[in-house]
Amino acid sequence: MIKYINNLLGYACNNQEKLFAGSDSEEVFRVNLIKQPNGWYYRNQEITYTYNEHGHRCQSLNSLDTSNLLLFTGCSHTEGIGLHLEKTYPYLVSQNLNCNYYNLAIGGTGIDVLLYNLISYRQIIKTLPKILFVQWPEFTRFSIFEENNSISTRSISQNLSDNLINFIVAGDQEGYFRSKQVMAKKIINLLYPCKIIYIGYSTFEPNDVDIRLHPSDLARDQLHAGTESNLKLANELVALLR
């Protein structure tokens, strides 16, 4: 569940450590133990997910030097679902550039949550990050606001009917989804007058990105980019910045 926590949107499991999260569930892991070969990397690897006071998978904001900070946002690909924290590209980039980092990414969410958290973060932390990394989430996702001060996320690409397919096609042709991204980008650029890197994922096609994540291996849940893919992206981002 995603809730408003200290003026940011984050997982309700704040200040908790979990062994499974999102699509990297215990049920999926047990199935993969049967399906995958004996030498499968994740067979004997324990992954922990630790979330801070805002429900984000990173250090507490209070413990960070915001004058030497990289800020990341996106969906599960940037949160690092199915990966050890130390194998995620935000961690690797921050280590390489000798910076602190904060990760606003929340799995399964769309541009609306991404933009809300970037606006709220800017109000909470007055110091600009040295670099902002924005990984565009799947463009048909949107948020449902519940009465209990929480939100759930949906995607019109799930459980497709003919009507939904027609809506996606028509919306894309009319520029609806493209416009959401363009307007969000304009707001982000206005709020963050610093270096910004926009990241696209290979299965989705935002037009103006600086770099793309092309998975060559898979994480423990067999849905997200794996350790080698995250390392490759981290190296490409560092090279782009030098």
| pLDDT tens per residue, range 58-97 | 999 989 999 999 999 999 999 999 999 999 999 999 999 9
Query: CA-based diameter of the chain, in Å?
Result: 51
pLDDT at 45 over 90: yes
Residue 152 CA: distances (Å) to CA of 117, 164, 204, 206: 15, 19, 22, 24
pLDDT digits (tens, 9 = 90+) for 177-186: 778 888 999 9
pLDDT digits (tens, 9 = 90+) for 90-132: 999 999 999 999 999 999 999 999 999 999 999 999 999 999 9
- Report the CATH architecture of 64-241: 3-Layer(aba) Sandwich (3.40)
Do 146 and 115 meet the contact criterion of CB atoms below 8 Å apart? no
* Structure confidence at residue 172 (pLDDT): 57
How far apart (Å, rounded) are the C-alpha atoms in residues 89 and 67?
21
Q: What percent of the chain has pLDDT over 70?
A: 88
pLDDT at 198 over 80: yes
Do 140 and 157 meet the contact criterion of CB atoms below 8 Å apart? yes
In what helix (H) or strand (E) does residue 16 lie, and over which residues does it extend? strand 16-18
How far apart (Å, rounded) are the C-alpha atoms in residues 78 and 113?
14
Do 220 and 45 meet the contact criterion of CB atoms below 8 Å apart? yes
* Structure confidence at residue 180 (pLDDT): 84
How far apart (Å, rounded) are the C-alpha atoms in residues 69 and 97?
10
How far apart (Å, rounded) are the C-alpha atoms in residues 27 and 150?
25
